[in-house]
Amino acid sequence: MILCTTDEIPGKKIVATYGLVRGNAIRARHVGKDIMAGLQTLVGGEIHEYTKLMGEVREQSLDRMSSEAKRMGANAVVGLRMSTSMIMNNAAEMVAYGTAVKVEEA
């Protein structure tokens, strides 16, 4: 599955458009990780626990979007975008969305 943020893929021709696809995941923070993150804010620097958490939820969203595109018969997603929002105090949602298409060599 080709995932692309642009509306076209260099060297490829879009031969079919299937429509909007999306994948989302919601993750909650862990109390133990919150304590470690709180300590990290005292000394500064990257909060690795949250970086890992957001990386996992991003990959899960992309995987779900790709699966939806495959079910439609697509081999690529163009115009890929990602968005995140807070669902509640300790939980965030990540959404990946784009247009499912079928591409061939140009």
Series of mean pLDDT values for 10-residue runs along the chain (106 residues): 96 98 85 55 67 88 98 98 84 93 96
CB atoms near residue 72 (< 10 Å) = 15
Task: Report the alpha-carbon distance of residue 65 to residue 82 in Å, rounded.
Answer: 11
Task: Report the alpha-carbon distance of residue 61 to residue 2 in Å, rounded.
Answer: 15
Task: Report the alpha-carbon distance of residue 90 to residue 4 in Å, rounded.
Answer: 31
Catalogue all structural domains in the chain, each as residue range(s) with its CATH number.
2-105 (3.30.110.70)
> 44 Cβ partners below 8 Å, 6+ apart?
none
Q: Which helix (H) or strand (E) element contains residue 40?
A: helix 31-43
Nearest to 21 by CA among 75, 90, 77, 85: 77
Q: Give the pLDDT confidence score for residue 85 in this predicted structure.
A: 86
CB atoms near residue 52 (< 10 Å) = 11
